[in-house]
Amino acid sequence: MTEMVFGTTPVRAGDPILPRWWRTVDRWSLACVLGLFAMGLLLGLAASVPLAEKNNLPQFYYVTRQAIFGSMAIGVMLVVSTFSPAFVRRLGVLGFAFAITAIILLPFIGTDFGKGAVRWLRLPGGMSVQPSEFLKPCFVAICAWFMAASQEVGGPPGKIYSFCVATIVVLLLAMQPDFGQASLVLFSWCVMYFIAGAPIALVFSVIGLATVGGFFAYGASEHFARRIDGFLAAEVDPRTQIGYATNAIQEGGFFGVGVGEGSVKWSLPDAHTDFIIAVAAEEYGLIMVLAIIALYMTVVVRSLLRLRDERDPFVRIAGTGLACAFGVQALINMGVAVRLLPAKGMTLPFVSYGGSSVIASGIALGMLLALTRSRPQGRIADVLGRGRT
């Protein structure tokens, strides 16, 4: 039990990969991710059936696909979690090159599926992929690499490089338009930049520039302005997605209306994706919502605690960026459903339906689990303690 809580199990030289991985990985975070995936399948059984019937598909079509995508994501997560920090960095750089190329090509070969934003690439067999989902963990890895390199003696101006990369990525995402993902990318960069040693005043300056950019986007983008106006409206139109979601959350109360008894899934076209938390709140009540929040909080807090005394700058910066991005994406999704934030079209990691989203989340959490594994070099606090004695 002590080993699970504190993660201090020593690594023995010559151990096989799997036993060494099992002793060093954060098993509590791993269990929480599996719990989120299980809850996603449970909620998908309720939320996706109406959409399947509407599209003349088998009742459990979307649930079956989610189980397939989720199994692939869990497999990818477990494989990536066995990687060394150096291999995680290489994976991030290579993945970033492919993802940014795909995003650049979106205006020419992408599609919006009638949602007003060109974010997807069509694949053979009726499949599609959203490159921005895969960009996020790779962006964190490459920026952390630049920032860590800048701390070396005679190292490159990595912080400037990371700022240039972040600016390019944010602009490309805003052009789709995908202001939700752009905001998440910018948030991740600010967190990593602060961890890398940037003064807080500089971070707030970047946030101020982003705010100015938001005002510009409001005047230049009808898509963005429509969502902001709907968010700021004094009353919620009950016929909109936000109206249906907020009403469902209110109806659910503490214990919910009962399994399968909810009505919001028949009204919301995105009940199985962006507004899955509304289905959880209506049918299972506040108890289910609090359980989901607790699982996300456990992953984020445990990861940050394990990274707190990490000696490797890349591991510390990249791990913090991945953990915070994971938690904030969940926060944004749930904040939209209760009208604390404007609609952004962002999924709930491992819970919402979506192939790109769940597989990309598997890559991100695999990276995080790999970076938070206990390593034989020890923690900086241990080194300082030995020096004092």
Residue 5 lies in a domain: no
Q: At residue 254, does pLDDT exceed 80?
A: yes
Residue 131 lies in a domain: yes
Count of CB atoms within 10 A of residue 45's CB? 17
Q: What is the pTM of this model?
A: 0.88
Picking from 117, 12, 81, the residue whose alpha carbon sits closest to that of residue 319 is 81
Q: At residue 2, does pLDDT exceed 50?
A: no
Residue 321 lies in a domain: yes
- Quickly state the pLDDT bin for 3 (edges 50, 70, 90): very low
Picking from 34, 48, 4, 9, the residue whose alpha carbon sits closest to that of residue 279 is 48
Residue 385 lies in a domain: no
Instruction: Please state the rounded mean pLDDT for residues 350-365.
Output: 92
Residue 1 lies in a domain: no
Residue 238 lies in a domain: yes
Instruction: Please state the rounded mean pLDDT for residues 178-194.
Output: 90
Give the SS3 label for residue 273. coil
Residue 230 lies in a domain: yes
Instruction: Please state the rounded mean pLDDT for residues 171-176.
Output: 88
Phi-psi region of 33 (alpha: psi -120 to 50; beta: other; left: phi over 0): alpha
DSSP 43-58: HHHHHSHHHHHHTT--
The domain tally of the chain equals: 1
**317, 148 in Cβ contact below 8 A?**
yes
Q: At residue 381, does pLDDT exceed 80?
A: no
Instruction: Please state the rounded mean pLDDT for residues 208-221.
Output: 75
* pLDDT tens digits, one per residue of 287-342: 999 999 999 999 999 999 999 888 899 999 999 999 999 999 999 999 888 888 87
CB neighbour burial string for 122-150, b if at least 16 within 10 angstroms, e if fewer: eeeeeeebbbbbbbbbbbbbbbbbbbbbb
Range of the domain at 232: 14-374
